[in-house]
Structure 1
């Protein structure tokens, strides 16, 4: 019987990640597989509870439910995301079995786990690609509407001008009409180039993910506008909360920052000095960026449904094209993030950008 139990234990230790704790959850046994995956040696684990490998991924209610279940003498089964000694995370399929005394009360717990990290990574990739496909399908519909709306007018205009040229017999009149064609063609080319750029973003599924130092990327993009910032005596405030680096395509982060900083400068109020605030903070696996100003503001009651549509502008300005917000929305959503805005006329505007931190 003893040999049979020894054989069972050997088989279990060879095939699974095993830990035994006392009634209070203090680890009293950790097998080699547990040490290997957690990167702690046995001496570091014994005498500690499982908070030593807590990744912070699961909610307090989730953890409480585990303890409530096993404290009643019931078996708990589920998936857990843990953190190794070096800070890396791993997933385990877990079964926790209470050992019961004569009164039916737990006096020990054995946790039997198997490494499912690769499977979880594959699932996360599948979810990401599925979300990306859903976004791309929506963008395809949007793109068709954009093409229909934005190319039809200039093409109709060109067709009418060509008809006028064909019908006109006056050379001076023909030359005058020809002069009018050029700006219409230039406008058409501009719209076409914008649409091509948006398509490239939507199809760029294999874009490189960069490790970005947040403080450096903010400083770099603010430096692009240093002349205007000095000229208009802009007060710039930056604040980083619990974030030092993120993993995201750098060209998209640059695009978001340059467009929003440029808009804040472009649409500043003539009645007060511009105050530009950029904040970044970590929220679980997401990174939230906010860009606020005390500028002209946007009438959201009038424009709420058009904020991120192509070639929509909300203030008169010689450089306003109505493409920047559409582009950054496309870039952010292509990577599984989202963007939204809060604004009041003559008070200011805040853009919120939630990035998915793409390091797995």
Structure 2
């Protein structure tokens, strides 16, 4: 009689415990799954049903049959790991609805038998934290790029001004020539100020410098770049031509200018020693992008270095002046706006850089 009474009490406690577990799973707002030691999904909370698109028919199914909803390919291995080790596991995962969660897999241990009878998997929403972290990483990357761009893009105008000042210092310069040079210096300083203002306004506005797209005229930007590089163009006798089929683009003006300036500067810098630099700048409309190409007849790039040219501080020729950050800047600016940059090149014949501004 006593033994029967004891069994009845234990059964009652089990029923009460099960009811409590059912009540907990029904009312918690946290996505949770209960998977037994045979990898069978036994219970899940309403929040888990919503987030992982589960239904009542999923109860009793092998977790492998519903793991695609959770978008975490190693979840089976992780469950086995927790069951075997009896130690909790924590990982960050992304679900099929593109949201990020911290996944905690906790062992469900039957104390009397000292064995793990399954796991309880809890998902904590960390999407805002992940998105904020990515925003900060992008902001830091853009600050780094803008600092490089500030240093790199103002070197040309400063060098141009220095050359003009040297002309003024020549004693045999006549008055007309002096006035003309002074006007050129004034224009160069104006363009330099414009470049600096554009690049540093990120600090004043606290916004991403690659944002704020506007209607940008390619001819005007090319003219600015040519003026900034005037001394290098004169020194090398470079001939620059353009074929502009698409005149305008909706993009960040400062970035378009920096992209064209860097590509044009490189085309002059890496000229072939035995011929005059010939540089062609083109724009054309593609099905889903505006294509800007800058082609030259310079030294060219070896096949195994075509990717490396876009890395920071990469210099293809030790004898060529430069810091090796120009194409790194260009790549970051293009990709941050969803575009792409490619290069085709033949050693000894020249290179063509293709910038795809996605529409």
* TM-score, L = length of structure 1: 0.52
Q: Where does residue 14 of structure 1 map in the other structure?
A: 27
Alignment of structure 1 residues 177-326 onto 2, 5 Å: 177-200=178-201, 204-205=207-208, 251=251, 255=256, 297-298=300-301, 301-302=316-317, 306-309=323-326, 325=327
Give the equivalent residue in structure 2 for 1:40. Answer: 54
- Does the CA-based 8 Å contact 1:20-1:109 persist in structure 2? yes
The runs of 5 or more residues in structure 2 that have no matched partner are 1-12, 214-242, 269-276, 279-283, 303-314
The C-alpha deviation readout for 1:166-218, integer Å capped at 9, x for no partner, is: x99xxx921222123333433343444344443457864286699xxxxxxxx
Give the SS at the match of 1:28: strand
Unpaired runs of 5+ residues, structure 1, are 211-224, 229-249, 271-275, 281-290, 310-324, 356-360
2:103 is matched with: 93
Figure out how many residues of one structure are paired with residues of the other and give that number.
Answer: 269
Matched residues in 2 for 1:46 and 1:226: separation? 65
**1:332-343 pair list within 5 angstroms:** 332=334
* Whole-angstrom distance in 2 between the partners of 1:199 and 1:83: 39
Give the aligned partner of residue 43 of structure 2. 29
Greater CA radius of gyration, 1 or 2?
A: 2
Which of the residues 65, 71, 82 maps onto 1:70? 82
Return the offset for 1:78: 1.0
Assess, with a 3 A threshold, how the Cα gap between structure 1 residues 95 and 209 changes in structure 2: closer, same or farther.
farther
* Corresponding residue number in structure 2 for 1:143: 150
State the alpha-carbon separation in 2 of the partners of residues 42 and 22 from structure 1. 17
Query: What is the DSSP-based 3-state SS (H/G/I as helix, E as strand, rest coil) of the residue aligned with 2:143?
Result: helix
Contact 2:149 2:329 in 1 (8 A): no
> Structure 2: how far apart are the matches of 1:83 and 1:347?
47
CA contact (8 A) 2:148 2:325 kept: no
Q: Is the 8 A contact 1:73 1:104 kept in 2?
A: no
Conservation of the 8 A alpha-carbon contact between 2:109 and 2:118: yes
Q: Which deviations, in whole Å up to 9, do the C-alpha atoms of 1:132-179 show, x marking residues without a partner?
A: 2365256437635764x4454444556566677xx99xxx92122212
Take 2:353 and 2:80, find their aligned partners in 1: how far apart are those partners?
Answer: 43
Structure 1 residue 79 and structure 2 residue 100: aligned? no
Q: 1:35, CA displacement in angstroms?
A: 0.8
The 8 Å contact of residues 154 and 185 in structure 1, kept in 2 or not, is answered as no
Aligned partners of 1:153, 1:259: CA distance in 2, in Å?
18
Q: 1:130: how far off?
A: 4.7
3-state secondary structure, aligned to 2:86: coil
Select the residue among 52, 58, 64 that pairs with 2:68.
52
**Separation in structure 1 between the aligned mates of residue 84 and residue 297 of structure 2, nearest angstrom:** 60
For residues 209 and 100 of structure 1, what CA distance do their matches in structure 2 show?
59
Summarize the Cα distance change of 1:329–1:158 in structure 2 as closer, same or farther, 3 Å threshold: same
Aligned equivalents of 1:294 and 1:47: distance in 2? 63
Partner SS, residue 301 of structure 1: coil
DSSP 3-state at the match of 2:174: helix
Match of 2:118 in 1: 109
Structure-2 change in CA distance of 1:70 and 1:137 (3 Å): closer
Residue by residue over 1:216-243, the C-alpha shift from the partner in whole angstroms, topping out at 9 and shown as x without a partner, is xxxxxxxxx7959xxxxxxxxxxxxxxx
Q: Is the 8 A contact 1:93 1:115 kept in 2?
A: yes
Query: What is the deviation of 1:95?
Result: 2.5
